[in-house]
Structure 1
Amino acid sequence: MAVRDAFTADEWRVVAAAPFLVGMYLVSVSPSGPIGVVTEMLTAEKAVTLEASRPDGLPIVQEIEADLIAGVLTRDLGRINGRAGTQERVLVELGRALALVEAQAPAMDSAFRAWLYREGERLARVGPEADGRRRAVSDDEAAALGILADMLGVPR
């Protein structure tokens, strides 16, 4: 049985948005201009693709990727503007996705949460500094990662 079969179509759209919600949340706490936003959101998309392409990748992520490719799902979750309202909305939607996975696909829950956190950590480090070094995680991003860790129930 496919993981997505545990959900209605509307629930699956909520669950499948989770990786992009993590990206939106991190982008919203430390917006870095239009190019930075695009780079970070492309990194979120790439994380899905990379996990899905691994032979031992999470089945839930593989199914999200398959539905994105088929056009059943979309990556477009709305505008990112760095306002607290955006951050709250994103966290509420992420909470809905997590609750659905926990209730209807419990075998995937802890691995999916851990993967989402790893994705968040990777997103926080996206983009080189002007001198070519890897970008340091800002205080705002570190705080956001702490909030994500608590929400996802993973160690920091």
Structure 2
Amino acid sequence: MAVREAFTAEEWQAVGAAPFLVGLYLVGAAPMEPMVIVREMLAAEKAVTLEAHQPDALPIVKEIDADLVAEVLTRDLGVINGAADEQARVLGELARAVALVEAQAPAMDSAFRAWLFRVAEHVARTTAERAPAGAGSRHIGGEVAAALRTLAQMLGVPQR
């Protein structure tokens, strides 16, 4: 049985959105130019693809990747402006996705949470690495570091 069969179509959309919600949360953490936002969302998608093609990849990640390729899942989660209410909305949607996995696929719950945090770290690193020379240091800024701490706490994973 495929993992996604444990979910309704609407629930699967919520679960499949989780890595992009992580990216959106980081986007909202610090003011960014539109191209940086696009790069962060592409980094989230690349993190899905990278994990899905690992020999020991989680089945749920493989299925999310396959459904992204087949355009069954959406990448369009709206615009975020960094306002506190928008950040709270994104965290709420992410919490819902995590709760769905915990309820419907409990054997994958902790690994799914850890993977989502790896997605967040990948997005944060990608943005820091692509910072233009002279635009400040090429490390994860304070707002993004704080967002990573929030995500680690929400997901119940240790922050490295």
Range of TM-score over shorter length: over 0.9
- Equivalent residues in 2 for 1:55-74 (5 A)? 55-74=55-74
Q: Distance in 1 between matches of 2:146 and 2:44?
A: 19
Q: Provide the residue aligned with 1:130 in structure 2.
A: 132
Q: CA deviation at 1:131?
A: 2.8
Q: Distance in 2 between matches of 1:109 and 1:135?
A: 33
**1:97 aligned onto 2:97:** yes
Q: Provide the residue aligned with 2:23 in structure 1.
A: 23
Identity score, percent: 65
Q: Between Structure 1 and Structure 2, how many residues are aligned?
A: 156
Q: Distance in 1 between matches of 2:137 and 2:56?
A: 28
Counterpart of 1:53, as a letter, is H
Q: CA deviation at 1:121?
A: 1.2
Counterpart of 1:109, as a letter, is D
Q: Provide the residue aligned with 2:107 in structure 1.
A: 107
- Equivalent of residue 151 in structure 1, options 135, 149, 154: 154
Q: Distance in 2 between matches of 1:47 and 1:106?
A: 22
Q: Provide the residue aligned with 2:81 in structure 1.
A: 81
Local SS of the residue matching 1:110: helix
Q: CA deviation at 1:134?
A: 7.8
Q: Distance in 2 between matches of 1:155 and 1:114?
A: 9
TM-score relative to the length of structure 2: 0.92
Q: CA deviation at 1:80?
A: 2.1
Local SS of the residue matching 1:126: helix
Counterpart of 1:96, as a letter, is R
Q: Distance in 1 between matches of 2:31 and 2:112?
A: 26
Q: Distance in 1 between matches of 2:24 and 2:61?
A: 18
60-69 vs 78-87, which moves further: 78-87
Counterpart of 1:85, as a letter, is D
Q: CA deviation at 1:100?
A: 0.5
User: Where in structure 1 are there 5+ consecutive unaligned residues?
Assistant: none
Q: CA deviation at 1:46?
A: 0.5
Q: Distance in 1 between matches of 2:78 and 2:148?
A: 21
- Equivalent of residue 142 in structure 2, options 129, 139, 142: 139
TM-score relative to the length of structure 1: 0.94
Q: Distance in 2 between matches of 1:126 and 1:139?
A: 15
**1:46 aligned onto 2:41:** no
User: Where in structure 2 are there 5+ consecutive unaligned residues?
Assistant: none
Q: CA deviation at 1:31?
A: 2.9
Counterpart of 2:97, as a letter, is A
